[in-house]
Amino acid sequence: MSFNVGEVVQLKSGGPLMTVSETNDAGVVECTWFNSENNIQKQAFNQEMLKIYRKQTPRVLPSGIRL
């Protein structure tokens, strides 16, 4: 899987949402995010460790019940 600069990703195992800041042909993806103290963090990950984050929209039944 390839990633583009600016995409929001997350480790497959979970963790904070991160923004892709750089990629290379070797499959290394550099990501940035803010920690709980609002300090910017930066780390490189193998692309196989990441997934694109997709916000899930809640499903609503005709009766108005959210799933």
- CA 61 to CA 67: how far, in whole Å? 8
In this structure, is residue 65 part of a structural domain?
no
The 10s digit of each residue's pLDDT in 25-66 is 999 999 999 999 999 999 999 999 999 999 877 777 777 776
pLDDT at 59: 75
pLDDT at 67: 62
* Total of domains in the chain: 1
In this structure, is residue 13 part of a structural domain?
yes
In this structure, is residue 1 part of a structural domain?
no
In this structure, is residue 30 part of a structural domain?
yes
Give the mean model confidence (pLDDT) for residues 6-26.
Answer: 97
In this structure, is residue 15 part of a structural domain?
yes
In this structure, is residue 66 part of a structural domain?
no
CB atoms within 10 A of CB 20: 20
In this structure, is residue 42 part of a structural domain?
yes
* Residue 50 structure tokens: 């990441």
In this structure, is residue 57 part of a structural domain?
no
